Each structure stands twice: as C-alpha cells, then as structure tokens.
Structure 1
C-alpha cells in the first residue's frame, strides 16, 4: 500500500513524500506541500506521486499528513446507529431525528491543519465533560475541485455530555485541543478497491485489557459520501482541499467513557490504522504549540 506522507528528517526539515509498503519514504520532487498536491486534479496528483527523488529512507518522523490552508470538516448522523446514540444522549432528541431524514446533512468544522494529531500522539478528553468517546470514521481527502483523491483513518473525539446538554454546544463538544486525529499517511483513492464496503473496527484498551470494542462498515451509510461532499462544497471554496470525516457507526452506550491512559485503536480495511493514548487537553495543547516551530518535538510526546 502506497501512502502520501509528510515527514521531518533528522535536521527538522519537513518534506512531503511517498511511503511504500515496506515503510520506506521517498521525497517528492520540487518539495511540494500536501496542500499543493490537493490543488491538483486526481490525474495530475497520480502523475506527481510518480516523481520522487533521492534514496528511500526509514529514519524519518512521520507527521500529520495535512498542512497549509487545508481544513478538516465532519459529518454527523450518517449511520442508523449514530442517530440512535445521539437521540439517547440528547435533551433535544427531535433535532437528531429530523436531520437523519432531512435532505441537508449535518456538517461542522472540526480543525485547521496545524491542530491535527496523528498516530501515537495523545488525543484528549475535556476536563469539563463527564462523557467522552472516540468516533472511528473514514476520512475523505478532497482536492480543491471536490474530487476524492485519498482516504485516512479518522478519530472525531467527542464530548457527548457537552453536546447532549444542548445541541448549540456542538462546537465545544467537537473542537478542542486533542479532539482530531488522522492516520499518518493518505492512501490514494485508486488504491482502495471499494470504499462503499470497508470494515471499521474500534478497540479501546485500559490497563492492558479491552474496555470496549465494536465494528461497523461503510456499507451501513445512510448518506452517500458524494452527497456529503456536494453539500460541503456548495457555497464555499477550499483552495488547499479538505478532509471530510464521514460520521461514525460506532457509538458506545452511555455507560462508557474514555479515561486518561486509555489507548484507542481504529482499523479501516485497505486504509490503515490509527492508535492514540488518551491524555488531558493540556498535553495536546503543549504538543501542538511546540510542533509549530519544532516538528521533531512531536517525537517526545509519542513516548509519553
């Protein structure tokens, strides 16, 4: 499996490259950003990925595969199970019942590129929320022309008690330091055989034991990804592309909440895995601030 990756070398220089099935990375010619690649058409991107330079390397630090003005957005209530979960937690149940069958989907901003975490880095639970859950999702990587050019494994970490108290609190439940994580590489769309039937598996480990696990499939979508993309691009531009989380079909019962020191692992067939420890938001804030000027600092947080 080939992946588009961002990486930092031993000197901290950030490059974009192509990772092969063995994990070896080759830099792309002309030092493009991922954002630059997402300005290309799907055909142009495929040609660009064939143009690498230098020796293959394995001694690099993989970074979140997003940069520039690329934005992360997310969709909600796109599976039957997610509707049931939102209705159960909410004091305004009819809101979720109505959006499930409405023509217009629920879409919300999730994160700018600089605030995205990747594999091994600490996701977070809000200190002012009693009920917090991971949300395993297929992430669509979209170019500036609204074409799906790749896929990532995504975790839309959410504070259910905050959102459940009042739907108007959705931004606080969804947007905070440590709430957005994606796998460390983008799998090109042409390498995923059937995105409409991908198994998605979630495992939460606590003190060496499985605290929660579940599976779903993109075959259970109530809305098509294409419909979500069309609504996202309907009245705005994404010059550096976007990543769209497509919603979750795995919603734990109200008796489960994430705890600090849990480990969350998400696996999506043909796309990859994403594993993150759970820490306070202060850890994620420190990581994200340090990484703005010192990308290699991310390595020390992955060892925590």
Structure 2
C-alpha cells in the first residue's frame, strides 16, 4: 500500500503528472502500473479534453510503488509528483456549506449561549416555514430566510452567496501555479491568521464535463480576507498557496460523481512544536450540488478551452487555540498538512512562507519549450 493513494488504487484509473528526468510528464495509472502518455497527450489538459474512458497508448514506466517518487520537502530526487493539472484554470467555489455559514452568524449573536442560539434557530424556522438546514440556495425558502436575517440584523455579503441564486466562483490561481503532493505549501509572511481549507476538486474538460476528482488545499489567509472581501485576490492567489493531488481519480465503474457527493474529507495538521489538530468535512452537507457549481463556472459567459479545476469549498474552519487562549488557530512554518479521503487518497504538504517556498518558474512558455525539445508538440496522435 502506498500511503498517499486510495485503498482501492489498484482498481482505480488515476491521471496525474510526474516530474521525470525529461520534465513534466502526463501519466495514467491502471492496475498499479504507470504509463507515460506524453506522446499521445503532451499535457493533462489535452488528455482530459479527449477522455473517452479508453486508456491511451503510452510507455510503461513500471509499477507505481517502484518509481523513485519522493516529496520535494524530504529529498533531492528530481522524480516527484506534480499537481495533476497543467494548462487548466484553477477555479474555486466559496461559502458552499450554507448551514455552516448561517450557524457561525447565529453563534456570534448568541455569544456562546446555547439556549439563545436555539431560540434564534426556532424563530427563523417559524418565519420561513422550514428548518434552515433544508433550505436550498436560490429557492423561495432561501428568499424568506434572507428577509428574516436582514430583519434581525444578521445579513452579510457571505450569506448572499451561501443561500442566494448565484454561487461564489473565483479564480484561485493561474494555470501551472498549483503544487502537488509532497511539495511545500505557502502562507504569506505578513499573515498572522491563516488556515488550510481541505476540499474536493473537480476535473472538468473544455465543455464543462466533470470527468474525475481529486483533493485540494485552498490555503486561506483569514486576517487579510477578513479586512475586506475585496482583498480576496491577495488572500488567495500567492506563491505555493494552492495544493492539489495526488492524482485525479477518473469516473469509471469504481468511482462516480455520487461517490464525490458522499465523500468525507479529513484534515490532519502536525506541527514541529507538537501541536496536533484533526477535523473533517462531509460533502453530503454541501448546499449546492457539484454539477450546479460546475454549471455556474462555465457557460456562454465563461469559456475554458483548456478545461478547469474546481474547488468545491469546505465547512472546516479550525478554531482550536494554538498558543494564547482566544487567538484561535494559525499555521506555523514546518506544519505537516494531510488532506485525505477514502477514495481519493492523501494530499500531504509542508508549510512555509510564500517568499521562502520554491518560486514558481515553469509557466506556459517554459512548458512549451520543454515539450518542443522532447519532440512532443507535433499534436495528438
């Protein structure tokens, strides 16, 4: 068993990218063996856009457990697992667990009084005619809930995207900027309050077809975004701030979108100071279906000819104090972060600051130069 793969990985169809002696290489893993498909599809974008379920021709690289793949933070080996996305735009959906968002507003108003919090829930339930946990975003009940929250002085722009008709979908990071399993993940050195966001990430082709899923860490700088929602770009798009992997698990007879809907994403953080934190987020509690989120990302107003990755959001927000009481959680350099799910494996990264993380240097131009030198740009065959 390879510790970063799903338990049933030998029966799964996995797609990813490996840094080899030649450069970034798209691979397909089936029956435990790794196939270099770069001569058929020089990029994962091309591979997913042409995906039919048939495994393309390629060069056998051997059994996955025998490849010299090492984490970038633990060894100097040039063979390592890269983010499974290359030319795709990295998109993310926010505030997709509406109940979690509303509960935080209620808890803030109740100030720790459980009885008062239940009174607020009951009052909202009586006025909208249903439990807030069953409200579907954009529905008539959601509109009534909005009016009730406004009347109580509890409304915010975050709740608009939590229960309104339009999802929050933003660009997390540019193509080729995400890091993979075993790499460093970065937080800004000027951030004093930040946390990981463990999420499921959809793999979508140029038509918006969802073809598979993987894991992601949408690193969040809570102090910067908390100052103003208009600082979302500064809080989200930074060097090494987006981790995805280890591989995309493709939909087939062993894995489907319904499995995504049932996924439980787990988070483990282990600090060099002995600090430990664990938590989980269940996709069954998401307010907007993954198909709806993908559909709101692409359409006649938004096109992605190279396809896109889509973070689905999280309900996990660590509040455990780390250090002085009341200061909550924030990352320390050297934290080991593990995002896991039974059918998607483990995404493991180590925390550093964005200015100390390995700089992002391989952009589209550099990738094209590498593929040209390898004779891979003649087009798909």
TM-score category by the smaller chain?
A: 0.7 to 0.9
Q: Cα deviations across residues 200-238 of structure 1 (Å, max 9, x unaligned)? A: 100110127452211121101011111111111131111
Name the stretch that deviates more: 203-212 or 51-60. Answer: 51-60
Q: Which residue of 1 aligns with 2:121?
A: none
> How far apart, CA to CA, are the structure 1 residues paired with 2:342 and 2:159?
30
**Alignment check: 8 A CA contact 2:239 2:359 kept:** no
> How far apart, CA to CA, are the structure 2 residues paired with 1:204 and 1:85?
23
Q: Which residue of 2 aligns with 1:19?
A: 29
Could you say if the C-alpha distance between residues 164 and 21 of structure 1 is closer, same or farther in structure 2, counting changes exceeding 3 Å?
farther
Shift, 1:39, TM fit:
2.1
Could you say if the C-alpha distance between residues 113 and 82 of structure 1 is closer, same or farther in structure 2, counting changes exceeding 3 Å?
farther
Shift, 1:93, TM fit:
6.2
Q: CA RMSD in A?
A: 2.4
Could you say if the C-alpha distance between residues 252 and 82 of structure 1 is closer, same or farther in structure 2, counting changes exceeding 3 Å?
farther
Q: Structure 1: where are the runs of 5+ without partners?
A: 295-304
**Alignment check: 8 A CA contact 2:205 2:308 kept:** yes
Superposition pairs of residues 22-171 of structure 1, within 5 angstroms: 22=32, 24-28=33-37, 29-40=39-50, 44-47=51-54, 49-56=55-62, 58-59=67-68, 60-68=79-87, 70-79=88-97, 80-82=99-101, 84=103, 94-171=156-233
Shift, 1:38, TM fit:
2.7
> How far apart, CA to CA, are the structure 2 residues paired with 1:108 and 1:64?
19
> How far apart, CA to CA, are the structure 1 residues paired with 2:277 and 2:302?
39
The number of residues matched between the two structures is 284
Could you say if the C-alpha distance between residues 130 and 210 of structure 1 is closer, same or farther in structure 2, counting changes exceeding 3 Å?
closer
Q: 1:189 aligns with which of 242, 251, 256?
A: 251
> How far apart, CA to CA, are the structure 1 residues paired with 2:20 and 2:333?
31
Q: Which residue of 1 aligns with 2:305?
A: 239
- Is residue 2:356 matched to residue 1:283? yes
Q: Which residue of 1 aligns with 2:342?
A: 269
Q: Cα deviations across residues 157-201 of structure 1 (Å, max 9, x unaligned)? A: 010011111111111111111210001311102242421111110
Shift, 1:145, TM fit:
1.0
Could you say if the C-alpha distance between residues 188 and 283 of structure 1 is closer, same or farther in structure 2, counting changes exceeding 3 Å?
same
Shift, 1:15, TM fit:
2.2
Structure 1 stretches (4+) deviating beyond 4 angstroms?
Answer: 82-89, 290-294
**Alignment check: 8 A CA contact 2:40 2:56 kept:** no
Name the stretch that deviates more: 24-33 or 95-104. Answer: 24-33
Could you say if the C-alpha distance between residues 242 and 83 of structure 1 is closer, same or farther in structure 2, counting changes exceeding 3 Å?
farther
SS at match of 1:114: coil
Q: Structure 2: where are the runs of 5+ without partners?
A: 1-8, 69-78, 109-153, 320-326, 368-381
Q: Cα deviations across residues 84-108 of structure 1 (Å, max 9, x unaligned)? A: 558989xx96111222110001111
Shift, 1:269, TM fit:
2.2
Shift, 1:142, TM fit:
0.2
Could you say if the C-alpha distance between residues 252 and 18 of structure 1 is closer, same or farther in structure 2, counting changes exceeding 3 Å?
same
> How far apart, CA to CA, are the structure 2 residues paired with 1:109 and 1:56?
36
Q: Which residue of 1 aligns with 2:284?
A: 219
Could you say if the C-alpha distance between residues 266 and 85 of structure 1 is closer, same or farther in structure 2, counting changes exceeding 3 Å?
farther
Could you say if the C-alpha distance between residues 283 and 45 of structure 1 is closer, same or farther in structure 2, counting changes exceeding 3 Å?
farther
Q: Which residue of 2 aligns with 1:299?
A: none
> How far apart, CA to CA, are the structure 2 residues paired with 1:231 and 1:201?
26
Q: Cα deviations across residues 231-262 of structure 1 (Å, max 9, x unaligned)? A: 11131111110000000021112611111111
**TM-score normalised by L of structure 1:** 0.85
**Alignment check: 8 A CA contact 1:87 1:93 kept:** no
**Alignment check: 8 A CA contact 2:195 2:222 kept:** yes
